[in-house]
Amino acid sequence: MPIDDKQLKKATGYAFLLLKYRPRSIAEFTEKLTKRGFSQDIIDELLNDFKKRGFLDDLKFAKLLIQDRIKLKPMGRFKLKQELNAKGISEFDSDDALEAMSGEMDEYEAASKLAQSKLKQFKGVDKVIAKRRLVSFLGRRGFSYDAVFKAVKEAIAK
């Protein structure tokens, strides 16, 4: 089936608008274009074109997302992997990105900083309760068991 040039132009404009705001995974990109009502042929054409140009790359997107989370909203490997999978990043690409970023991401250090800052909110709270709340908070953020307990023990001791 031939592709309508008018629709392709409209889809290209919308696609650039999507990427103007923030990088997108291939799955997010496809979902947005589908919701907008563009045909699968047009979406496939755009995907091929944008991949060739380097505008869409799941591995690069995953690395950017991890860097962003390290700086703005620290979380553990488990939670990062969940978030990447929710954005449509393949298991292979998420594992590669996490491995590539492991040098920049020290899970214990991030958990420790977070525990120190969160502990300030527990002034006047019993130590046992504060410890339990910190463990729960860091666990929800996806930090490993070892990193959580080591960071909490250090934070409570100070």
What one-character-per-residue DSSP string does 80-142 give? HHHHHHHTT--HHHHHHHHHHTTTT--HHHHHHHHHHHHHGGGTTS-HHHHHHHHHHHHHHTT
Query: How much is the average pLDDT of 43-51?
Result: 95
Query: How much is the average pLDDT of 18-37?
Result: 95
CB 96 within 8 A of CB 59: yes
Is-above-0.85 flag for pTM? no
Instruction: Answer whether residue 90 shows pLDDT above 80.
Output: yes
Q: Among 34-38, 43-47, 94-98, 99-103, which is the least confidently predicted range?
A: 99-103
Query: How much is the average pLDDT of 31-46?
Result: 94
Instruction: Answer whether residue 23 shows pLDDT above 80.
Output: yes
Per-residue model confidence (pLDDT) at position 125: 85
Q: Among 3-7, 80-84, 126-130, which is the least confidently predicted range?
A: 3-7
